[in-house]
Structure 1
């Protein structure tokens, strides 16, 4: 097979060796005489696999033994937008939302349907070209009136990324980290909870990892239907109902691969190198390529740019596809070009794309 350079935004590129491991164990898992797709989620091999996946994730981010649990859930980040509000918006407190792109807006809108939610800070007036100043907006928020502060750390569609986490003090900080989890080192203890759909840096689509402080789980709304409570998943080790077993197994393989590469520190260095290759091609183009996001806020996961007109953008995508580059069309809501360079994307893919960008500019610029 002639594998393409895969820049899809999610489901996204996975390392070939992870795919091959998944293939080789697909028919029979662990000498059990059947595929893991066929096993009961109550069986010891599946229970052990889920426990190991939780341990691996906590170890990679340095939270093993720090009072956090990992919950494996379904529905992607979109389900979490509603569930976190359902679990934590109570007692007259409001959820405070930082709006930095389309998905943070969706999270805010879901919270509005559940209870009290307010915009803490917004970058919408700039067309999402720059991130809002969260630290300045925190002001006089207190635990008495604020249930949590919600932040989307990386904006997949627009191509922006918060470089550091704000300090919210005693107010729980909850983050959607779907598109940049495990890509860089952070002070994870600033977060009371964070969640990520697997289909970008963690594995295939189908499972969502929720990492939450144990004390936060005990405070969640106990009046919800059982299946919607975070505490239910924690109490039952994510096995209250039948989970997406194979997706969790593939996440385990992806976590093992990440650890073998050198962990989060190595992923951070690779991400910086990959992003530099693309942003250098943009910045050296004399305006032929124009970054959509202002330089200080550019994402190391999703590089976005425009060309002089839409006709050239279509030509770029078409020629790129013919040359073996997949997934470069910008999101349908914003257009332009987007290269998603998650952990599974090799540095060589970005080097090849930068070369294609320079060649395209030399012919069309």
Structure 2
């Protein structure tokens, strides 16, 4: 095991394209760090530079106590698990898992011991004599992970290892990977496009956009204190709702009506010299069905919306309605809409989604009275994307 330190790491391709710029990241020994972001943001390139599969244009990379910029991949003592299982079809599970040790000319007794130990950890013992064609997708991925484990590397590097699995298997494998990493305590860097994976797996998450690190923090820090509008829109499912707003007389004037500012938010906006025209972000859980309010809980402005779509998930209900005046638009929000596929599907970005208690009596086509909890509101500068309510953010 070892810490991994990136200092000003930059990747520029021969044609001049800048893939990654000035990444500073200190990954502690035994830590599980996730690199997440939209397609083309530089996360896989960063991982490949750690692995030695991409040259570093500028900056310094340390694994343990060594600078490894000029070391070949095999000299870095890291193991990669890719999206593709890359198993040899003519070899059984035992042979596939032991193959890297055979290449390293490790004796047969040691190979067999290490393979059986890894198989026990991965619940593959009864499959050791089977060929990959006779395994499920989840089992194949575990074999690929076992091949990395037997090497006992300083670090695991995983590049979207679950993307070939169906939704149910992904959830199961996510849990297994988390348990495995905790059990082995091996430093792990994991790349994913799926923010749900990022939020559930990592000790810390690195959000990237266009080759730049946007924010580094625990999943809770990114969710509660997003540094900018991009992080706020990328993290969270369903995504945060964004509305154009005007600051006037201690309130945010929006398509939902006037939303009075609480003292903390007002003071923060004053300190940041907030512009008059801003964007307000409200997560789905920032809303409440007034009919279900507890006695004495009357804090927050109330408005009426007509329910257009209602989705019942058993424990929660998602209600969709249209905000007048159109959605907030910035370069970051347009990029997020394109990455999520909203533009391709023709989805209506005017829709606001709120998460309500399952006891709600809201019905499609009928009005529902909703309250906004302003303590959960975020206010952004449209010009810079900066979060004006939580300017410091977690880093």
TM-score (norm 1): 0.27
Return the structure number with greater helix share: 1
**Which of the pair is proportionally richer in strand?**
2
Q: TM-score, normalization: structure 2?
A: 0.26
Q: Over alpha carbons, which structure has the higher Rg?
A: 2
Tell which has more relative contact order, 1 or 2 (C-alpha 8 A, sep 6+): 1
